[in-house]
Amino acid sequence: MSTLRGKLNKCMGMKVRIEKWQPKNETVVTETGFRYLNTKSVINNIETWEGTKEEIFNKFDKSNNRLRYCNGSYYKFEDKTLKVEYLKWYEGLSESTKFNMFYGNGVVD
């Protein structure tokens, strides 16, 4: 029965809510006059993504790789069980697949 459910999940699309986190990047002044940049991340937006689990996991990985190293933003799954499933899925990928997902068509020395 569980394999049938797995096959149905692959064929049927699903909707998931994804949180987009971004740093505040606000200047804070303390009582003593010390200034610093508050880069604590906060939820900026909640998006709904549709597709199969694999499509959503691929989009999640690709979107996070684009944002994280550019401006400190990142996506999180709103559903914690889906986060666990994503981590299991990612760990099951081969090293060459992970490498290709991370670097894409980039040139690596």
- What pLDDT is stored for residue 20 in this prediction? 93
11-15, 84-88, 89-93, 101-105: the lowest-pLDDT one: 101-105
Q: Provide the domain limits for residue 63.
A: 8-102
* Domain-embedded: residue 1: no
- What pLDDT is stored for residue 1 in this prediction? 47
If DSSP codes are grouped into helix, strand and coil, which group holds residue 40?
coil
3 vs 86, higher pLDDT: 86
Structurally, how many domains does the chain consist of?
Answer: 1
With beta carbons less than 8 A apart as the criterion, state whether 77 and 16 touch: yes
* Domain-embedded: residue 59: yes
- What pLDDT is stored for residue 8 in this prediction? 47
For residue 72, is pLDDT > 90? no
* Domain-embedded: residue 27: yes
This prediction has a pTM of 0.73
C-alpha span between 9 and 12 (Å, rounded): 5
For residue 4, is pLDDT > 70? no
